[in-house]
Amino acid sequence: MSDLSKDPRSVGFPPNHPPMRSLLAVPVLCKSPFKGNLYLAEKAEGAPFTPEDEESLIRFATKAAIAIDNAHLHMRLNDLAVAEERLRIAHEMHDGLAQVLAYVNTKAQAVKAFLGNGRTEEATRQLDQLAAAAREVYADVRESIIGLRSAAVPGRTVSDLLQDYVNTWQAHTAVQCSLRIDGDPRLTPNAQLQLLRIVQESLANVRKHANATVVSLSLEQAASMLRVVIEDNGAGFKPGELGRAELPRFGLATMRERAETIGGTFILDSTLGSGTRVTIELPSPPPSFETLQESP
């Protein structure tokens, strides 16, 4: 448009607005719900806009649309990851609380029976076990809250989140934990969340079951793979001898499922008396909205 004042749609400009005569406008055609336009006005020295100018602006608008769609996809992925994680946590809490409440009920009934028979010594032992269970549940809840806070920080990389979580975890346990990070991979929100949850579950197992004094956590970015390793010097166990009833207690099935949902593998190595090593391997670079590209 060479003269805005002659366009029937023109209603003039507000006070103190810079003078504008020529205008070039193109739409920003997004696949997402967002809509917009790009405008150029008053070319230098009053020259008219050319077809080449329009072609350049269209290319710019195309790139802007891709960037907007990618940002929208990122928001949707993040929302989906949060919704899925809430559902998963609800299931895990339900299963965990069901086991704890069943245990508490059993012990309470035993205490009642022992007291009714005047067997105070046995009742005291049962109460001690109840108190130990309460302390364990308290530690689990505290650990879960720390984990939820760690995963709820937007704009943080997986390296940042791991460092923060290890620092907080170390402050609440006597186990010495070292962290080594090689590279700073960019992950989708869901991949980052699931990886962090696996690390949290692994460290929880170290605290509760391993009887370890030292645990190491490493993140390595290789050419074709991202590898996370959690290794302790604890009592270890024989994975092949774990029954189905024991798998949920250690969270192994859940950790494997989390790894597989983001295209990774979960590897467990443990030897009785020689500690345990958990390895998570993800393809590198992992699928991410940031890798989406489109030619104009």
The model's pLDDT over 7-27, given as tens digits with 9 standing for 90+, comes to 777 777 788 877 777 888 899
User: What local confidence, expressed as pLDDT, does residue 41 receive?
Assistant: 83
2-6: long-range contacts, CB 8 A cutoff, minimum separation 24: 2/48, 2/49
Residue of higher predicted confidence among 287 and 115? 115
User: What local confidence, expressed as pLDDT, does residue 152 receive?
Assistant: 52
Token pair, residue 22, equals: 């020529």
CATH topology of domain 156-296: Heat Shock Protein 90 (3.30.565)
Distances (CA, A) of 37 to 32, 65, 75, 202: 14, 10, 22, 50
The winner for highest mean pLDDT among 71-75, 124-128, 170-174, 289-293 is 124-128
For residues 266-290, give the mean pLDDT: 79
Same fold yes or no, 4-71 and 156-296: no
Q: How far is CA 220 from the centre of its chain?
A: 18
User: What local confidence, expressed as pLDDT, does residue 296 receive?
Assistant: 38
Helix (H, G, I), strand (E, B), or coil: what is residue 152? coil
Beta strands in the chain (DSSP E): 23-28, 36-41, 176-182, 214-221, 225-232, 265-270, 276-283
Q: Which CATH architecture has domain 4-71?
A: 2-Layer Sandwich (3.30)
Sorting pLDDT into bands at 50, 70 and 90, what band is 185?
confident
How many CB atoms are closer than 10 A to CB 266?
18
pTM value is: 0.56
User: What local confidence, expressed as pLDDT, does residue 136 receive?
Assistant: 73
Domain residue spans in the chain? 4-71, 156-296
Given a contact cutoff of 8 angstroms between Cβ atoms, the answer to whether 93 and 65 are in contact is no
List helix spans (H) across 117-188: 120-151, 158-171
Reply yes or no on whether the pLDDT at 272 is more than 80: yes
